[in-house]
Amino acid sequence: MPRHSETRYLPYTPEQLFDLVADVARYDEFLPWVVAVRIRSSSEKETVADLVVGFNAFKERFTSRVVKERPTQICVDYVEGPLKYLHNEWNFERAPDGGTNVGFSVDFAFRSRLFETLAGSMFDRALRRMTVAFEQRAAALYGINRSSRRAWPEAGLPNGSFRQKTSGLRRFLPGWRHGQRARTQRCRRASAVSRRQAQRCR
């Protein structure tokens, strides 16, 4: 059961990063291994989408429900496909310098033991590639403004590959984590409501 969570700083506003992650329809333009996207339904608060993921001879379709709370949180829950389950969260906390502390977590499991073994062996590399892809996308869409350069000179690293900003962050983390736990609970309640509504409509 691959599982990962991390917090990192990026020199963009929560609104900018939220819009980037929420734009599921364009994932096939920049995310590695996402070869096609089909949006089943989309609104301000929720998107249901099919993603076709391909790697060499392997190709699978995943359907996910994306619950959105702009600009602070995005929750992704698995609907159907080859997985047992998937839960993914993005949390966007505005930093004092105008950038964003991004909280990211993912937890999933495959039905197939073979896929589970393959996923475990590739998980770290795939996660790094995905993280870099999102950072490069942000740099391509938004560039780097002057205030971000002053607050974090390393944001100017080539290829959009940003290092975590740790200086000055520790004093904000206790309150941030407390808020993240509260947002996670709201996210799970919203996801549960969405699932019940979908079941009633079947």
Neighbours of 84 (CB within 10 A): 12
Q: What pLDDT is stored for residue 185 in this prediction?
A: 66
> Per residue, what are the HEC states of 62-109?
EEEEEEEECCCEEEEEEEECCEEEEEEEEEEEECCCCCEEEEEEEEEE
CA-nearest of 100, 94, 32, 90 to 66 is 90
Q: Write out pLDDT tens, residues 72-129.
A: 999 999 999 888 899 999 999 999 999 999 999 999 887 777 666 666 667 778 888 9
CA-nearest of 189, 131, 166 to 9 is 166
Whether the predicted pLDDT of 1 surpasses 70: no
Mean pLDDT along residues 49-71: 91
pTM: 0.72
Across 11-15, 18-22, 174-178, least confident range: 174-178
Whether the predicted pLDDT of 144 surpasses 80: no
Q: What pLDDT is stored for residue 113 in this prediction?
A: 73
Eight-state DSSP code of residue 189: H
Whether the predicted pLDDT of 148 surpasses 50: no
Contact assessment for residue 63 and residue 162, using Cβ atoms and an 8 Å cutoff: no
Residue found under tokens 């999102």: 134
